[in-house]
Structure 1
Amino acid sequence: MTSTKGLEGVVATQSAISSIIDDTLTYVGYDIDDLANNASFEEVIYLLWHQRLPKEDELAELKQQLIAHMPVPQEVYDHFKMYPIDKVHPMSALRTAVSLLGLYDEKSEDMSDEANYEKAIKIQAKIVTLVTAFGRIRKGLEPVAPKAELGYAANFLYMLSGTEPDAIEVEAFDKALVLHADHELNASTFTARVCVATLSDMYSGVTAAIGALKGPLHGGANEQVMKMLAEVGSVDNAEAYIKDKLANKEKIMGFGHRVYRKGDPRAKHLREMSKKLTALRGEEKWYEMSVKIEEVFTAEKNLPPNVDFYSASVYHSLGIDHDLFTPIFAVSRVSGWIAHIREQYANNRLIRPRADYTGPGMQKYVPINER
């Protein structure tokens, strides 16, 4: 047996959900550029779960189901209020809350296709409420109920702030959700599939995926990018800041990707939304700093930005707390996790790889008094 560090280049399964071929990302054969420019997030959810785009009545039904299932049990809100708020990262709260939801779903252990689809709707709907409610409760505010006339993206922003967002805010957030929805066999998706390959339930699979997404080398990168932008402070400081970090061999978050070689195809869409939103807010410096950092870093390392880099200034411009950036990633990516979980169930085999042993050779037990 030969081992590959980080499973790089290893093909672990077959999937009809998304692909990355020659630096082109597709969802069920649709180029991400096509979807980002034309599709709503609800359409993408349907596409990932059904392997086709919805018809008008199917899309309307999905939207209605999502709105109907957004409320969560009062016990979940009460649970949030028990947390040591000043010490709990929102991803830890989300991980615990999704697991908690499973306790209140009478079909959580029902593994039929029908029950699993119902759970898919519930989890996708309620994750919006979990993130926004925690974001408000920790500030001493009450959760905001969704509005039936608003779409998924608009409801997230409304439930977080209590104010209906304007059109460009909805456009930016909806596009971000589309871009983050799935990404082939990334770390959190692989974690979800490993979990449910044991025939564990969907809540367990999503909880496991959230745990994987929490790390700064996966979902936490955009939060770190915003921290970096705040440290840079101005465009004039950007070049010296980056060169100093590189000289000290410190990692710059938001650049490069394990899979892409020519560049992340999602980044350009968020770059454009960052430009629009920062101008709308009169805070162009965040976009301008990002552009300068990109210029300096790519000149030094020849590594283009990934999807995390410009999503940071987009979310900041939407007035979202920086530590909610990764939970937002989960709000989108749960659509892909669920698609992969259902695909795993449909053609399951326990995922059990081997390890290349590097420890000592055969040893003989020695009694404790002789050691």
Structure 2
Amino acid sequence: MGFDSRQSTPGFKRQLIFINGETRSFKRASLLMQRVNGLKVSPNTIERICLEVGQELATAAEQDWQGVLDGEAIVPQLAVVSCDGGRIRTRKTGCGVGVHLDGKGWSETKNAIFVSATSETSQTDPQPKPPSCFLDRNHVAELTETAKTKENADREKRFRDDEPSPKKKPGAGHRAKHKPQKVHRTLISSMQNSKAFGLQMDREARRRKFDKAPLRAFVGDGLSSNWTIHQEHFSDYVGILDFIHAVSYLHRASIVCMGKGDEGWVTYTRWMTLAWQGRVGEVIEELLAHQQRLGEAPPDAEDDDPREQLRRIIGYLNNNRQRMDYASYRCAGLPATSAWMESAVKEINYRTKGTEMFWNHPAGAEAILQIRAASLSDDDRLARFLAHRPGSARLRKGSNVSTIAA
């Protein structure tokens, strides 16, 4: 029994969309549909249906989800916006069977999370000592190594502030009162450029009434495009550099200046603690002294030249020092890390990135990003959109011929 995207019923399409959004590929969705529902649908048919729905989801977002999510947004106590880039592997189009990489084989994705949260404020720093996970030598070394390239950043082992350290037993951790409590999240994801994605982020935040929240935070890594979006659309949000990214730079700086031995580790822990307490200016002063000792990097310095590495680290910290007042953020009940964003990127990557997973058409990848982000949002927007779209069981097009039960 074979059906294409024009003959299938609205209910059947909904099943395909949900299954495809939670499986690793069109092929796996086809196999699951056959084994669970006893219905044979080709991967190409599933891809066509997903492309159709993905395009409609993008249009619905541009129209502020009118008719789907009307009047539901509640002004949060704390509004947290965070964005991060990702990578998916792509082929050149029109090259036929086989692996024909598009450039270096990677294309950039944009991801953003919007979290309504609650938190408590404090007159003094409620956690002046850094979490023990940042004092675990093996963990910090792994974190720094995996943070070197954007291609493997999604594999980074990040520990949330409220999670136990690697040495603690499961269940030993607790959430301090000053740390934000997530209430509701929505996600967006796209392959559009940063300028277009910034407009998407602004639209979603305003629809969620984040601009009216008494506390607002924008959390990101040091990527310049993230802070361009912050400046253009979220300049009245407190800009916060993800502390874990700061840790990776400080650890590398300690190795450049003092080596990989105990002296380097002691130097890292002191610098990291200073940064945790919002005293990054003191760290920069020490790094400048080390830079004078090592000498300036020549214009043609290689990437592995210690002088060049130190120059970049100092530049990174200087560029972000106004976003590293972590003690003040904790007093205000704001987040210090982008753990919510990193977790969401991993969830999105589950469907879009993996070993031997390539995307032949940018439009297909864009459609899946739209579907995956909608399916992961707490407002159940994917199911509600599919129930209200033209051709659904409630609003059926005359051209749809029902041959399978919805």
Give the greater-gyration-radius structure (CA).
2
Q: TM-score, normalised by structure 2?
A: 0.26
Structure showing greater relative contact order (alpha-carbon pairs closer than 8 Å, 6 or more residues apart): 2
Q: Could you tell me the TM-score, scaled by structure 1's length?
A: 0.27
More strand by share: 2
Which structure has more helix as a fraction of its residues?
A: 1
